[in-house]
Amino acid sequence: MDPDPFEDPDLSIGGRARNALLHDLSSWRDQLARSIARNNHGLQSDAISSAVNRIIGRLLFLCIAEDRGLIKAGTLQQIHGSADPLLAVSELFFPVGDPWEEVAKKGRFHYP
DSSP result, 87-111: HHHHHHHGGG--TTHHHHHTTSS--
Q: Average pLDDT of the chain?
A: 81
Spatial separation of the C-alpha atoms in residues 89 and 75, rounded to whole Å: 9
pTM of the model as a whole: 0.63
pLDDT: which is higher, 87 or 99? 87
Q: What pLDDT score was predicted for residue 105?
A: 63
For 39-74, the pLDDT digits (tens) are 999 999 999 999 999 888 888 888 898 999 988 899
